[in-house]
Structure 1
């Protein structure tokens, strides 16, 4: 089963306002999953506590897992709760909150945490178009989000479970890029309400998420802007902001490669959700170079097992290219995805896919280095052998080598997707700089002599020809 292109051109008329009498909602914070629901209270004093799985993202100053919480002062990358740079290592389980029972959610979250993931793209509401179960937004076991379809009358069991799932993600070091309503759910189950009702819903979502430390806000989806829908999306975000919530916000648009290309959305977002199925280096670099300065995160490209450009299903080579092209073109991380974004039968057995394992190894290599100091190269470091293919339609049709280097020359990365010799201006690097070829399929590095001409080492462990060249004074791993 292949992932359909989730294209929706929404043409909505504003309807009469739904009654504004909202159900007062106070979120419980369940702590342990069962097959049918989350226990509503923490364990009694002295009771055994389920251990939190370790996260390769490390720990914050207070001992809790690091989370993606804000944008760095310089605007190029994200920071954790202590203000330290944090590489985004994402997945896209869009329909997790409606497709999974609590015990299944625990399997998914704990596995992804163990693999080093630290961010998830998730919809708060479900619809078959975003991987959900039914058009009314019900969970797999029939729990509806709203009473009588009124978005300001919440059905507490739905929101309690969603809260518990996001809270558990926080315990495991997983930040949620959360869509309160998206382009697939705004018509059903959301019901296209008035701007006032959208604002009230946003207030409720902001209150619901106030004690969740691991949320960044999203709008859109596979979305071509329509004024009436824009008005609702913005009203929801304004409602969230009215609760005092200032966490970063972005929008995913299908009409452009990142929100900064849309005059309406450009001034509204705090970071760019870069979205392309073409070779990703072009879109990421364009977003990086476009004012104002803000993170240009590759947040959706081809998912493992799918190919929305019409070619063969995405390979592990495609996934490696997406990650490393993104990093060397200015992205502060990336979001991986798989054909199990909608949790197809047997998804548990595919969590540890070869694609997920390979990108975890690549991310480990990048995260071990001061990646946040890197600036995309414009030919000053990589002076020959770059290749081309900027306008190719498929990731594998481009052979462009991309590079990034820190201003002081203390670190540089060069991603070479096919066999060749590249030439370098080694004068851009610090005195005594060293060189390592890293096999992106395994993460294993080999120290080599730094020269002006560097030839790729041959086939990598997967029998393919792509390699990552690490230069500078920092040992790999």
Structure 2
């Protein structure tokens, strides 16, 4: 999320770099931690290993099995083949995400409900949210305060909680669950460490995690995250840095409460997957795929790694922004990201817009064209047995286009056709980014089956005869040349 705009607040402009080379600030507390100033190129930390005094007792543990609202299908775990997420009944859940990072600090309770009601109506079933705020992740201030002044901690003590803040956050997340939305929640991230979150020791990191796990035990649909534009750096990468270990201690504190819901870490831009880092590779339950270049390469890289874990495309370009200095990300770029991801092995995707931090007038931009068009792509895939789809290198035998994998390749410069099919060949979907003729190996499919071209900008479908050579229908309703070829039910 390294974004800087010419207007408004800065978004995560400086990367999180856990390196001891950065000038740090000594905190005058027991077991002092050295923290960093990200305005000077990143983060560094030495968090001592000695526990400081616990400033507040943990509350009694609420039920460890949260109750899912009737009719909701929330993410609770990973499917048996390690490729997708499942709900409380073990049924596959296609992630249809949005990214309101600062939901808990920028909005009043009433405004939060306005946002949640709108997203429920648009088919969104997952949110990315930071539990603590800072200016770098969209919050009003670096002390973690909400827009109306509620602080999360007393005098910055991460173990002394302000009940009003945590009650409000809990109510908002419960409201998301009631609307069928899982929350990919960052209890601490790289933008709040050293600001709103300043522990004095690794033990405080763990105790804070235990408090968070207890607080969230009755919240259904929580998926745990950490990191955030995070570039780990250490003398021994496999051993991790002090910051890595603090993040890990937070997670272990959550686990200490009996909470074993999925966890992952978001690494740095412009392209990364969680398992890139040797410290985190064995610690994550799914891969957070982050790619500003065309998504097919990073998603497929994550998908092909063993052991299998879900390779979730969770961030790319955001509507209304462009981190490479070009024009704002367009609806075509957004639907390309989603379609490439969903045909390369991702069990869903996250959309994002310039209103991740709820800029003035955000209510009037809820009906964003990019989200509508991404919704079309999601609908097409969800109508298939999508959890059985696997990336196919055999279906398209000519006209696939070039695979461009450089970190500076713009989404609109990508020309690669990607395809996914079920093992039995009864369903398949092909994403074609530009006009062309495709050559297909029909032996990959179970039978000729039903085929249709679907306009990813409008959802209009045109039935066609399935042949070995298929020509795209021309320009779509948005003026682009991209199409989805769908084979099978739906």
For 1:49, the equivalent position in structure 2 comes to none
| 109-118 or 184-193, larger mean C-alpha shift | 184-193
For 1:96, the equivalent position in structure 2 comes to 103
For 2:354, the equivalent position in structure 1 comes to 339
For 2:83, the equivalent position in structure 1 comes to 76
Deviation at 1:402, TM superposition (A): 0.6
What secondary structure is seen at the aligned counterpart in 1 of 2:159? Answer: strand
Deviation at 1:200, TM superposition (A): 0.5
Q: Report if the CA contact (8 A) 2:344-2:391 is conserved.
A: yes
TM-score for the superposition, normalised by structure 1: 0.90
Deviation at 1:464, TM superposition (A): 1.2
For 1:317, the equivalent position in structure 2 comes to 332
For 2:46, the equivalent position in structure 1 comes to 13
What secondary structure is seen at the aligned counterpart in 2 of 1:390? Answer: coil
- Aligned counterparts, 1:385-404, within 5 A: 385-392=399-406, 393-404=409-420
Equivalent in 56, 64, 68 of residue 22 of structure 1:
56
Question: Does residue 431 of the first structure (1) align with residue 447 of the second (2)?
Answer: yes
| 62-71 or 423-432, larger mean C-alpha shift | 62-71
What secondary structure is seen at the aligned counterpart in 1 of 2:429? Answer: strand
For 1:457, the equivalent position in structure 2 comes to 473
- Aligned counterparts, 1:441-452, within 5 A: 441-452=457-468
For 1:249, the equivalent position in structure 2 comes to 263
- Aligned counterparts, 1:328-367, within 5 A: 328-367=343-382
Output the CA distance in 1 between the equivalents of 2:69 and 2:314.
29
Deviation at 1:25, TM superposition (A): 4.1
For 1:87-141, what per-residue CA distance to the aligned partner results, in whole angstroms no more than 9, with x for missing partners? Answer: 0001111111000000000011111111000111111000000001111100000
Q: Report if the CA contact (8 A) 2:47-2:246 is conserved.
A: no
Output the CA distance in 2 between the equivalents of 1:313 and 1:192.
38
Q: Report if the CA contact (8 A) 2:68-2:177 is conserved.
A: no
Shift in alpha-carbon separation, 1:461–1:63, aligned structure 2, 3 A:
same
Deviation at 1:193, TM superposition (A): 2.7
Question: Does residue 157 of the first structure (1) align with residue 190 of the second (2)?
Answer: no
Equivalent in 285, 295, 298 of residue 280 of structure 1:
295
Deviation at 1:362, TM superposition (A): 1.8
For 1:440, the equivalent position in structure 2 comes to 456
For 2:124, the equivalent position in structure 1 comes to 117
Q: Report if the CA contact (8 A) 2:158-2:199 is conserved.
A: no
Output the CA distance in 1 between the equivalents of 2:263 and 2:78.
10
For 2:20, the equivalent position in structure 1 comes to none
Output the CA distance in 2 between the equivalents of 1:64 and 1:272.
28
- Aligned counterparts, 1:155-194, within 5 A: 155-194=162-201
| 135-144 or 247-256, larger mean C-alpha shift | 247-256
Output the CA distance in 1 between the equivalents of 2:361 and 2:458.
26
Q: Report if the CA contact (8 A) 2:55-2:157 is conserved.
A: no
Shift in alpha-carbon separation, 1:203–1:4, aligned structure 2, 3 A:
closer
Output the CA distance in 1 between the equivalents of 2:111 and 2:153.
23
- Aligned counterparts, 1:44-59, within 5 A: none
Output the CA distance in 2 between the equivalents of 1:105 and 1:147.
24
Output the CA distance in 1 between the equivalents of 2:61 and 2:164.
10
Output the CA distance in 1 between the equivalents of 2:169 and 2:131.
8
Deviation at 1:8, TM superposition (A): 2.3
Q: Report if the CA contact (8 A) 1:61-1:82 is conserved.
A: no
Shift in alpha-carbon separation, 1:5–1:410, aligned structure 2, 3 A:
farther
TM-score for the superposition, normalised by structure 2: 0.88
Q: Which segments of 5 or more consecutive residues in structure 2 lack a partner in the other structure? A: 18-42, 234-240
Equivalent in 210, 217, 223 of residue 210 of structure 1:
217
Deviation at 1:223, TM superposition (A): 0.6
Q: Report if the CA contact (8 A) 2:68-2:220 is conserved.
A: no
Output the CA distance in 1 between the equivalents of 2:76 and 2:356.
24
Output the CA distance in 2 between the equivalents of 1:64 and 1:188.
39
Shift in alpha-carbon separation, 1:193–1:362, aligned structure 2, 3 A:
same
Q: Report if the CA contact (8 A) 2:395-2:442 is conserved.
A: yes
For 1:205-263, what per-residue CA distance to the aligned partner results, in whole angstroms no more than 9, with x for missing partners? Answer: 00000000110000100111140101110110000000000000000011761111111
Q: Report if the CA contact (8 A) 1:92-1:337 is conserved.
A: yes
Output the CA distance in 1 between the equivalents of 2:59 and 2:163.
7
For 2:21, the equivalent position in structure 1 comes to none
- The number of aligned residues is 443
Q: Report if the CA contact (8 A) 1:403-1:413 is conserved.
A: yes
Deviation at 1:61, TM superposition (A): 9.9
Output the CA distance in 1 between the equivalents of 2:122 and 2:74.
15
Question: Does residue 219 of the first structure (1) align with residue 226 of the second (2)?
Answer: yes
Output the CA distance in 1 between the equivalents of 2:439 and 2:365.
40
